[in-house]
């Protein structure tokens, strides 16, 4: 699993690689924790949280203060919050797949296309 410094590197890389990502905002950062947002528009963004100490990762697509899609990892176990039911914990084989930031952003692009978001 990637550590906080690797997440920070990948966040900066994502902003330079993906034209729809307008801005990276670091909300909190320490040696073992990062919380950041990748803004697509003022009310549409991806929020990323990584805590090395507790081996926790959260990536979520938020629109108008609502979770649209997410992937979470707690103690090495992943689950997904699917687009059609973001309140559900999908622990199927697909839901349990480990996911990098780049893979999650690919999924976000598909969700935005399906929902006709910018």
- The structure tokens listed for 107 are 């999924």
Domain count, the chain: 1
Domain span at residue 86 reads 4-114
CA angle 105-72-118, nearest 5°? 30
The CA distances from residue 83 to 30, 33, 68, 78, in Å, are: 31, 27, 6, 16
CA angle 111-117-118, nearest 5°? 120
Paired strand residues for 38: 24, 46
Per-residue pLDDT of the chain (118 residues; tens, 9 = 90+): 689 999 999 999 999 999 999 999 999 999 999 999 999 999 999 999 999 999 999 999 999 999 999 999 998 899 999 999 999 999 999 999 999 999 999 999 999 999 999 8
Paired strand residues for 23: 39
Say what the pLDDT of residue 98 is: 93
């Amino acid at each position: 699993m990637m550590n906080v410094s690797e997440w920070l590197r990948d966040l900066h890389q994502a902003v330079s690689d993906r034209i729809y990502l307008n801005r990276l905002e670091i909300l909190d950062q320490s040696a073992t924790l990062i919380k950041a947002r990748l803004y697509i528009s003022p009310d549409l963004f991806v929020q990323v949280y990584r805590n090395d100490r507790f081996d926790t990762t959260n990536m979520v697509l938020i629109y108008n203060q609502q979770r649209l899609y997410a992937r979470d990892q707690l103690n090495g176990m992943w689950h997904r919050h699917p687009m059609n039911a973001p309140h559900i914990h999908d622990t199927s084989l697909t839901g349990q797949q480990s996911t990098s930031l780049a893979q999650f952003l690919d999924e976000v692009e598909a969700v935005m296309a399906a929902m006709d978001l910018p």
